[in-house]
Structure 1
Amino acid sequence: MFKVIILAMVLLGSVAELSVVWDFADLAMGLMATTNLFSILFMAPIAVAVLKDYERQRRAGIEEPLFDPAILKRPELVDADVWPVKRQKKGRG
């Protein structure tokens, strides 16, 4: 379906007036920017929490800070299968 839509846009862009094509491109860019801004606002608290944890680890002298999803305090993210295995504490295994 996506390929059909792209083909239709290419055909429309080749026969439409230039001003219409540019107006549509401006509209599409505005919609994409709006979507990205909402996504950034939604993810900002998570990004800030991860950054603070990284900075805390660096101040503690850890040369290679590792991400621990438990700091997010969001069960839907902590239980995700995409995170690597958590760091083992020194003295264990």
Structure 2
Amino acid sequence: MNVTRHFSDTRTDEGRVRILVQSGQLVLEAEGPGWQHRSVHVDLGDVTLELAWLPGLGSSLYGEVMDDVARQVQFDGSAPERGGTDLPGAA
């Protein structure tokens, strides 16, 4: 059975970003006024890098997403994929 789990769901006035775990991969869904994005990634680092390059995603929403991802990784004790918890720009 293919079960989808929500890892992160961030909403602001700028838009919405969801990170889903499905079949061992991460699905990134992002949207805002006039744009939508969906992509599949093997690790959380790839997801956050993709987010950084999305032209419609503002810095405020990106910051909120990164804060939420950091909280989720800390809460879960590990990242939800094979690549570990290394995040671009993390100290």
TM-score by length of 1: 0.30
Q: Which has the larger radius of gyration?
A: 1
TM-score by length of 2: 0.30
Q: Which has the higher strand share?
A: 2
Q: Which has the higher helix share?
A: 1
